[in-house]
């Protein structure tokens, strides 16, 4: 396959970025998108040019680090697919592909396609956990949980924190991410003790990091590689309202 790549290049967080065009004529349909970029970087190194910086880790669709916008879509045009699991057979010979980093104030560009997503880490540190006393933990199977509740909790827990929801949202909102993290703990008995404090602290951290407000466009759900439902945002709002009123306005 022959491809034309238009890639965002930015030397530093303070640098002025621009798109640069690269021609590739040695792409096979069996390559993943990141493998294709690996080949590009090998060619650039042979030419003594600076390789394109991008993030990756597991390359198995579970870590969320392979975040980039491909032809206007976070992670590319395939639904429920991370960039590392996107294969070149889904592109056409001779196609022009535009590749750029996630765009959000809270995700500043570090270099080229790599962005700083530590804002998500700060939100998790604010309350995305369950505190327990040291010592012998109770057997999880000894705590009865309704199947519907456990299934919804597991669905929310699938969030990999990649930030595609932020990149897809015109307001750069992190509501889908925060709601998934709040929901999967709020839906299990172990998470009830700290529920009010958790939602208050995580929402406050989200606001402090400069994410925008949700306006129910639902582009976040459409672009999420794990299909996290916007119903979690409704649950987050109920959790937050209930914590504000001091009552159980939950469901």
At 91-147, the pLDDT tens digits run: 999 999 999 999 999 999 999 999 999 999 999 999 999 887 766 766 767 778 889
Cα 159 from Cα 180, distance rounded (Å): 7
Query: What does the mean pLDDT of the chain come to?
Result: 94
SS3 23: strand
Query: How confident is the model over 204-240, as pLDDT tens digits?
Result: 999 999 999 999 999 999 999 999 999 999 999 999 9
Residue 190's pLDDT band (boundaries 50, 70, 90)? confident
- The domain 117-130+145-245: what is its CATH number? 1.10.1060.10
- Classify each residue of 5-32 as buried b or exposed e, where b means 16 or more C-beta atoms within 10 Å of its C-beta: bebbbbeeeeeeeeeeebebeebeeebb
Ranges in the chain annotated CATH 3.10.20.30: 3-111
Q: What angle do CA 189, 126, 148 make, to 5 degrees?
A: 25
Domain 3-111: CATH architecture, name and number where available: Roll (3.10)
SS3 118: helix
Query: Is residue 251 pLDDT above 70, yes or no?
Result: no
**The two three-digit tokens of residue 115, written as one number:** 């962005």
Ranges in the chain annotated CATH 1.10.1060.10: 117-130+145-245
The pLDDT of residue 137 is 65
Neighbours of 47 (CB within 10 A): 8
Residue 83's pLDDT band (boundaries 50, 70, 90)? very high
Cα 100 from Cα 22, distance rounded (Å): 14
Q: Please give the model's pTM, rounded to 2 decimal places.
A: 0.92
């Amino acid at each position: 396959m022959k491809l034309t790549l238009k890639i965002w290049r930015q030397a530093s967080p303070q640098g002025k970025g621009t798109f640069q065009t690269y021609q590739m004529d040695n792409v096979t349909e069996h390559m993943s998108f990141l493998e294709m970029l690996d080949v590009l970087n090998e060619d650039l190194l042979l030419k003594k040019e600076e390789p394109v910086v991008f993030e990756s880790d597991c390359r198995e669709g579970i870590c969320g680090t392979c975040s980039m916008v491909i032809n206007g879509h976070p992670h590319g045009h395939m639904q429920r697919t991370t960039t590392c699991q996107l294969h070149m057979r889904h592109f056409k010979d001779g196609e022009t592909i535009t590749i750029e980093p996630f765009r959000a104030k809270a995700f500043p560009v570090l270099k080229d396609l790599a962005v700083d997503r530590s804002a998500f880490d700060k939100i998790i540190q604010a309350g995305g956990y369950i505190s327990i006393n040291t010592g012998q933990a109770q057997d999880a199977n000894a705590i009865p949980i309704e199947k519907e509740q456990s299934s919804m909790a597991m669905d929310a827990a699938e969030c990999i924190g990649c930030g595609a929801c932020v990149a897809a949202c015109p307001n750069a909102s992190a509501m889908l991410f925060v709601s998934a993290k709040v929901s999967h703990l709020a839906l299990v008995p172990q998470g009830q003790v700290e529920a009010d404090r958790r939602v208050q602290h995580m929402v406050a951290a989200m606001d402090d990091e400069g994410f925008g407000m949700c306006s129910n466009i639902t582009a976040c759900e459409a672009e999420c590689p794990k299909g996290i439902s916007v119903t979690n945002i409704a649950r987050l709002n109920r959790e937050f309202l209930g914590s504000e009123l001091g009552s159980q306005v939950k469901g």
